[in-house]
Amino acid sequence: MVHALEPTARHPAPLQRLARMVAVMRHEPALAIGAVLTLAFAYLIVAPVVSILLQAVVVQPGDSARLHQGEGAFTLYYLARAFASRMSGILLWGPLVHTLTIAAGTVALSVSLGVVLAWLVNRTDLVGRGWFATALVVPFMLPTWTFALAWTTIFKNGVVGGQPGWLQAMGFATPNWLAYGTLPIIVILVLHYTPLVVLIVGNALHRLDVQMEECARILGAGPRMIAFSIVLPLVRPALLSAALLIFADCIGEFAVPYILGLPVNYDTLSTGLYRALSSRQTGVAAVLAGAIMIMGVVTLMIDLRMMREARRFVTVGGKGGLQRRQSLGRLRHLAALLPAAVVLIGVALPLLTLFLSTVMILPGRFTPDNFTLDFWIGSNLHTVALRNGILLTPEFWAAAWNTVRIVGIAAAISGTLGLLVGYAVLRSPVRLIGQVLRQITFLPYLVPGIAFAAAFLSLFAVSRGPIPALYGTPFILILALVAENMPFASRSGIAAMTQLGREPEEAARVAGAGFLTRMRRIVIPIQAGPLATAILLPFISGIKGVSLFVILAVPATDVLTTYSLRLLDYNYDQAANAVVLMIALIAWLGTVLIQRICGTGLARGLES
């Protein structure tokens, strides 16, 4: 027999509510995971950021005599010095103008170029579309400083010592504006970031429901009308997001201005920061780091705001269907010159230049007797050090092994943590933990690598409490890399867990599976693809990375990037370029692997 009872409405006492909460939460591992992760990231991310910001306003070691204040006392000296002193032009304003010029120039040029290329590749019957779609992405996979080194190989002039550039060696004096500074930096960054625009905008074009265009066509709109009143507005969110991403990246860019600016005292904020750090002006360095962070925050706010507006266009995620392509007629061959030129200048030329430079004894002399494979595989060379070709040098292999080990471990950790963050954010019954985690893990995105490295150095160089001094060990590099990777890793983890939904896991719970079984048998296998991407992408960017290593690596923890920079410092240009080529090779192989594993996942991963 069944009968309805009277409802019993009651309000439990606070203590009872607490007991109840404990009873329920005990079975929600997401909460514990979230709490542990929050604590860990508070230490790994928030503490360094706070510490570096604090350094801007307290007296730094070594400055107390000059400032007549005790170490650690509050001071506005560094702010005043950076913003309003005789030095501020050199310290802050000059670099700031350079940084903004570079970032704005890069964004403007790469977006214009990228949109045209994306349209050509995705929406027209251009010759060799499929091939270009792949080839155009390659420059983004190469480290930016590959281009920078190729540039110096060709254009370097007599202003700085060492081997001259090819043009100089052949008797053309290259002017400074061509060899160093704004122009080459912008050209290189445009080459590097245009593929990103092609990827993101291409992806948006791809998802655009053709029916919307067809509908407009039926109503009598011409191609131009459709492009400007339908396609462009709908693709605009993707476009803006790509532009802001590039802007933020350019502000933090270190390696290119390091190679192309530092020799002629051309500073951006990040190289200025590096210079301040290496001349032990930690206070000023902190001010510069703060300036970069503020710019990052502002960019991000704009991005968030635009994203919110973009939500109104949710229809963009249409099914696609048959893509109509614009016929270019006879122009379809001619138009292919543009992407061909980009591939030539962005991939073929730099790689070929670098490769040639590694097989030539003297730069710029194209005679048979000047070519040799000694720098790769020679032995008993007549040099002061490095008497073997790079492939026969134990230091090279040690550095390569170090790189793969350190970056690989860091990437695996951050990928896994990213998935756990996704789990905690979406499953935690306490909403606050999810929100805090989301924000914390995104914080490193606002902090340029070089500033972050500086913060890590100041925080972990000495032993604090239970944590021993980590400087000089691989651990500090791994921790810094993990923290630096968290924005991407957590974003992709959250996206993956959102897509999974909670029901597959709930079904497993009902079937009797405990937390570990659920993770092992349900969540991780379903997320294998996203997890692989979340590990491989940070791996590639870690291999290419410079700024963290430049500050945190010591000879014992040499990685390929620092190894090649050191070779460069000692004027072993050929060997340095050979190492760079090997880095590019590893990065490219990793990218191919990702494309294999998850198809178009790359574009989606970069967008999130």
Partner 1 sequence: MPDILLQGLTKTYGKGAAPAVDGVSLTVPHGEFLCLLGPSGCGKTTILRMIAGIEHATGGTILMDGEAVDSVDQARFVPPERRRVGLVFQNYALWPHMTVARNVDFGLRLQNVSPAEREARCRDVMTKLKIADYAERYPAQLSGGQQQRVALARMLAINPDVLLLDEPLSNLDAALRLEMRAELRRIHETFGTTIIFVSHDQWEAMTLASTIAVMDRGRLQQVGSPDEIYARPANRFVAEFIGNPRINMVNLADTPARAGESVAAHLAARLPQAAGASVCGIRPEEIRLVPEVSGDALCVTVAGIMPTGGSWVIELAHGADRLFFSTQSRPKVKPGERIGCLLPDEALHLFDAEGRRLAIPGYGLCEAA
Q: How far is the CB of 21 from partner 1 (least distance, A)?
A: 8
2 near partner 1, rule: CB under 8 A = yes
504 near partner 1, rule: CB under 8 A = yes
5 near partner 1, rule: CB under 8 A = yes
Q: Are 424 and 438 in contact (CB under 8 A)?
A: no
Q: Name the residue nearer to partner 1 (CB basis): 1 or 322.
A: 1
Q: Are 111 and 236 in contact (CB under 8 A)?
A: no
Q: Please choose, out of 19-27, 53-61, 177-185, 284-292, the segment that lies near partner 1 by the rule CB under 8 A.
A: 19-27
Q: Are 238 and 607 in contact (CB under 8 A)?
A: yes
Q: Please choose, out of 285-293, 335-343, 509-517, 582-590, the segment that lies near partner 1 by the rule CB under 8 A.
A: 509-517
298 near partner 1, rule: CB under 8 A = no
Q: Name the residue nearer to partner 1 (CB basis): 68 or 431.
A: 431
Question: What is the C-alpha to C-alpha distance for residues 486 and 38, in angstroms, rounded to an integer?
Answer: 12
Q: Are 151 and 157 in contact (CB under 8 A)?
A: no
Q: Name the residue nearer to partner 1 (CB basis): 447 or 523.
A: 523
Q: How far is the CB of 532 from partner 1 (least distance, A)?
A: 14
Rg (CA), the chain: 27
Return the residue of 315, 517, 600, 608 that touches partner 1, per CB under 8 A.
Answer: 517
Q: Name the residue nearer to partner 1 (CB basis): 40 or 508.
A: 508
Reduced to 3 states (helix: H, G, I; strand: E, B; else coil), residue 239 is: helix
* Distance between start and end Cα atoms, the chain: 56
516 near partner 1, rule: CB under 8 A = no
**Positions in 520-539 near partner 1 (CB under 8 A):** 521-522, 525-526, 528
Q: How far is the CB of 501 from partner 1 (least distance, A)?
A: 8
**Residues in binding contact with partner 1, number by CB under 8 A:** 37
Return the residue of 158, 318, 514, 599 that touches partner 1, per CB under 8 A.
Answer: 514
Q: Which of 387, 308, 225, 294 has its CA nearest to residue 79?
A: 294
Return the residue of 71, 309, 506, 569 that touches partner 1, per CB under 8 A.
Answer: 506
What distance lies between CA 26 and its chain's CA centroid?
38
Question: What is the C-alpha to C-alpha distance for residues 279 and 87, in angstroms, rounded to an integer?
Answer: 15
Q: Please choose, out of 22-30, 164-172, 252-260, 573-581, the segment that lies near partner 1 by the rule CB under 8 A.
A: 22-30
Question: What is the C-alpha to C-alpha distance for residues 308 and 314, in angstroms, rounded to an integer?
Answer: 11
* Helical axes 394-427 vs 474-500, angle rounded to 10°: 40
Q: Please choose, out of 10-18, 157-165, 199-207, 466-474, the segment that lies near partner 1 by the rule CB under 8 A.
A: 10-18
513 near partner 1, rule: CB under 8 A = yes
Tokens linked to 77: 């000296």
Question: What is the C-alpha to C-alpha distance for residues 430 and 433, in angstroms, rounded to an integer?
Answer: 6
Q: Which of 66, 61, 451 has its CA nearest to residue 280?
A: 61
Binding site for partner 1 (CB under 8 A): 1-10, 12, 16, 19-20, 22-24, 26-27, 501, 503-504, 506-514, 517, 521-522, 525-526, 528
